Amino acid sequence: MSARAETLQQILHKPSLIHLQGRNPQPLFISTLLHGNETTGFYALQKLLQYYQRAGLPRSISIFIGNIKAAQGGVRRLDEQVDYNRVWPGTAQHYLAEAHMMQRVTDIMRQKNVWASIDIHNNTGKNPHYACINKTQQDFLSLATLFSEVLVFFTTPKGVQSGAFAEICPAVTLECGLSGDELGTEHVLQYLHRVLALDELSHCAKANRKIFHTVARVKIPEGYSFGFDDDATINLLAEIENYNFREMPSGITLATIEPQSKAYLQAFDDDEREVGRDFFEYQDNKIMLKKTVMPAMLTMNTQVIRQDCLCYLMERISIPV
């Protein structure tokens, strides 16, 4: 119970599903370390279990500890691995061994009549703590709003944990800022305490609640080098991550490109159609924003940009409370 995320590999040997009995038998499912370098959920769970060691849990919990090999290396995933948050039921890669494992975990939790599901992540840019949902039903909103007033509704990418569990119970993905930040661990811990104390997900409307819908995912095409220092083919705006959850005005220069390179950015909508033309325009070796948008998960971590994406683009939606 005091293990470090980097040493879990020696203790558990592989991804593990752990069931703990509580007074209410209908379990809360919690997954963590689907990305090996996102440790906030793991350390919050450690503290949670230490707290309930004597008194006993108010509700049963089932914990899935995901990519412990990547955790050992302190990376999101190893180069030869698939992304552990893209192979849950609903994924296009359902033939993979990892997808079979996630299917099995989901089936077990369905059989256990899972009550709610929480998947805990970190990100690398400057982002507020926010909660993501894949359905906008009231119980999903309640579970999410207990964590943050900033909510993101999304339906792609497919194969994410919260998307799979949304088919069987209220489900949420928590984005808890930078991994290793004590405040993030404390926030998740308090949230888990609050959720565990609930008998049901009662209506919990907050006046300040803001819900954003992701409309596109921005990628840098594989063939181009990129960076922030003016020495690559695509040179991104250095202060780009300051724009997370802030309106980015049309006309702003996102990047400069090497002359004659014809380099460009890609944007994919919910149906995986390339819709870059709707968002970007090109002039004088610059890539500029064509319309005002609100980005999320903008990061300056080049490995994350390559393995995942540059950012998501969102628009605000309103749902009656």
Binding site for Zn ion (CB under 5 A): 35, 38, 121
In whole angstroms, how close is the CB of 157 to Zn ion at the nearest point?
A: 12
CA distances from 51 to 189, 193, 278 (A): 10, 10, 51
Nearer to Zn ion, 35 or 86 (CB): 35
Half-sphere exposure of 138 (CA within 13 A, CB side): 8
Nearer to Zn ion, 35 or 59 (CB): 35
Nearer to Zn ion, 34 or 314 (CB): 34
For residue 49, what are the contacts with CB-CB under 8 A and spacing of at least 6?
1, 20
In whole angstroms, how close is the CB of 79 to Zn ion at the nearest point?
A: 17
Q: Which residue is nearest to Zn ion (CB)?
A: 121
Residue 242 DSSP SS3? helix
Nearer to Zn ion, 212 or 279 (CB): 212
Nearer to Zn ion, 38 or 98 (CB): 38
Cβ(242)–Cβ(128) below 8 Å = no
In whole angstroms, how close is the CB of 234 to Zn ion at the nearest point?
A: 24
In whole angstroms, how close is the CB of 138 to Zn ion at the nearest point?
A: 26
* Of 263, 160, 280, residue with least CA distance to 218: 280
In whole angstroms, how close is the CB of 120 to Zn ion at the nearest point?
A: 9
* Of 176, 273, 264, 190, residue with least CA distance to 224: 264
In whole angstroms, how close is the CB of 178 to Zn ion at the nearest point?
A: 12
Nearer to Zn ion, 121 or 129 (CB): 121
How crowded is residue 247: how many other Cβ atoms within 10 Å of its Cβ? 11
- The Cα–Cα gap between 98 and 94 comes to 8
In whole angstroms, how close is the CB of 168 to Zn ion at the nearest point?
A: 21
What radius of gyration do the chain's Cα atoms show? 20
- The Cα–Cα gap between 14 and 77 comes to 14
Nearer to Zn ion, 188 or 255 (CB): 188
* Of 109, 121, 117, residue with least CA distance to 188: 121
Cβ(132)–Cβ(147) below 8 Å = no
